[in-house]
Amino acid sequence: MDIFNNMTRFYSLIKSKFIFLITFIFLGVGSVSLYTIVAIKPVYSVSSTLIMKNTSTEKNDSQVIESLNLFQRQAKTYLEIAALPPVKEATNQALELSSEESAKIKSIKLTNDSGSQLMTLTIRATDRELAVNYIQQYVKQYKKFTAEKFGRDDLEVVSEALGSSKPVYPILWKNMFISLIVFTFIAFNMIFFRYILSDAIDSSEDLEELTGVPTLGMIPEIEKKIVLDEFHYSRGDAPENLIRSSNSRVKYKGHEFKLFNTPEIIKKGDIIIESSEFGHYAGELMIAKNEMRNTGKSNVVGRISEEEIFLIDYIKPWQKFSFVEK
């Protein structure tokens, strides 16, 4: 089967599973959305900006460069101090926080752009009011701690406890969008792998691919009637590689027998009805006794089952025969 047919059949399979796709994706996105709303606690972000004062009064170039290098090293030290336990412990004690309240503080982060005197302290917590109170107290304890260690207070608050009233996490629409992509991918892959791995015959096209001949459900009504309902006998003037029954071409003279299944190779046991391309012989039924090349004018309308092909050799000239659908 070529790629185009594979894609066509896969597309047909997707259409047949459309309700499953929509239901699966809807339930997946709905579950994630419900979990986001109910189970995940919102996290709020609050920030304060501090400026680190440079008190150097050096005038010449070498002294200025040394002063800047010292300032950058000092800024790095300030960042490292912010993460030390004493500042956090002092803040917790000042606010008299319980272990449960302390657990609501999810992260404490101090950042500084290289060469800048500004530092940004960001607190994330599941309680916004607590986050505001915490960052205000944290700044006080941080300034106090650094002043004690360096012997001077080089920090000044520029902006205090800024942040949106809306949580920064989770963001419902983002979770819904991501879950939509994920569950759509999963659903399509479930269908794809079922199509690839399944040995089941899901359609008449599958059966035709396996047998090499069309199923009776695909055969035009007249051709089906010729095979199953009409009287057949083997002509005495038939060639050695065919059994011919010409009664049908006489009865259905004038009917247009269109081409619909003309395999390149006709196999032993194939049942053939000639198309109107054969003119006078249109509608004649034949059974292939040997493998042969199709002229492109003969329709293969069925096939004798493998376990009964041997009977072909016992059909004598002018002998009657019939077919039974299996």
Least confident among 15-24, 56-65, 139-148, 270-279: 56-65
Q: Region 54-59: what's the mean pLDDT?
A: 53
Least confident among 10-14, 266-270, 300-304: 10-14
Coil/strand/helix, residue 66: helix
In the chain, how long is the greatest CA-to-CA distance?
Answer: 124
Q: Does 23 score more than 80 pLDDT?
A: yes
93-120 CB burial, b ≥16 within 10 A, e <16: eebebeeeebebbeebebebeeeebebb
Q: Which residue has the higher pLDDT, 157 or 252?
A: 252
Quote the CA–CA distance of 126 and 130 in Å, as a whole number.
8
Helix (H) or strand (E) holding 41: none
Instruction: Report yes or no on whether pTM surpasses 0.85.
Output: no
User: Which pLDDT belongs to residue 111?
Assistant: 82
Residues in the chain: 326
What's the pLDDT tens digit per position in 225-270?
A: 999 998 899 998 888 899 999 999 999 999 999 998 898 899 999 9
Q: Region 20-34: what's the mean pLDDT?
A: 92
Cis bond before residue 170 (omega within 30° of 0): yes
DSSP conformation letters of 206-237: HHHHHHSS--GGGS-HHHHHHHHTS-EE--TT
Quote the CA–CA distance of 258 and 270 in Å, as a whole number.
18
Query: What does each C-alpha distance from 193 to 18, 25, 199 come to in angstroms?
Result: 16, 17, 11
